Every structure is written in structure tokens, then in C-alpha cells.
Amino acid sequence: MDTREAAGLYFATMAARDWDAFAELLTPDVIYEMPQTGERITGREKYLRFNREYPGDWALAVTRLIVDGRTAAGSMNLTLDSQQLVGLVFLEFRDGLIERITDFWPEPYEAPTVRDHLVEQATPALDRLSI
């Protein structure tokens, strides 16, 4: 399986909550990091448990997937209960399996008014779906 196929399956199996197929994509010593909170999970079993036990009613949709050799980057829209979030994930592969995942969940914020004369209102990322 190549990197593009594995990255696509990472998102698809997570969205489907197919944890057995999801597990097959990960190295036993996979590392999952969330830099904004400073958390790290090491090992397939802990990472699977993290995902299985994630609270709330959530759904995700990939909006962009970029693959280059042994790495992939994706953006996704996540609905968590009534909250809408945009996430960024970076995947690193070893021998066709995912060995490192880095997730960013940036908070939306109001644009500074000092650049109003330069910008136009864009369609929010939550409204775009283009893989």
C-alpha cells in the first residue's frame, strides 16, 4: 500500500470507527502528538483507546490531503456535538505504516480590522470539501 492510499484509509477508517482496520495502519510504536496541549501518546493500543473513548458525538470530513513520499498532511472538518472545528494532521510513515501523527486544532478568531482594506471575506474552510 502506498502513502496516499494509507493516508486516505487513516481518515476513512477513523470516520467509520472501524478500529480494527484503523489499527492495521499503525506501527506498534506509533507516536501521537498534540502540540497545543503538550500531550503525547505512545503505542498503538493507547492511541486506539484514545480514539475509541473520545467523548461526544463527532463526525469528520477530509477537506484536503497532500502526500509526498513518506509524509502526508491533511485538513479536516470535525463536528463535535454542536461545535465545528478545523483540524490539521501530519502523518509520517515507516515501511508503509503510520509511525507518527501530529494533530493541530486551531481555534477560530476574529481577523484584525487593520487589514480590512486588503482582504475579502472568504468561504469558511468548514464549507469547502475538496480532496
Question: Which domains can be identified in the chain, with CATH numbers?
Answer: 3-104 (3.10.450.50)
Q: Are 74 and 86 in contact (CB under 8 A)?
A: no
What are the tens digits of pLDDT across the range 78-123? Answer: 888 888 889 999 999 999 999 999 999 887 777 778 888 888 876 5
Outline where DSSP puts E strands in the chain: 26-34, 39-42, 58-68, 71-80, 83-94, 97-104
pLDDT of residue 126: 47
pLDDT of residue 124: 55
- Give 23-31 contacts, CB < 8 A, sequence gap 24+: 23/48, 25/97, 25/98, 26/97, 26/98, 26/99, 27/94, 27/95, 27/97, 27/98, 27/99, 29/99, 30/97, 30/98, 30/99, 30/100, 30/101, 31/99, 31/100, 31/101
pTM recorded for the entire structure: 0.84
Say what percent of the chain tops pLDDT 90. 67
pLDDT of residue 128: 47
Between 55 and 23, the higher pLDDT residue: 23
Compute the distance between CA of residue 12 and CA of residue 62 in angstroms, rounded to an integer. 9
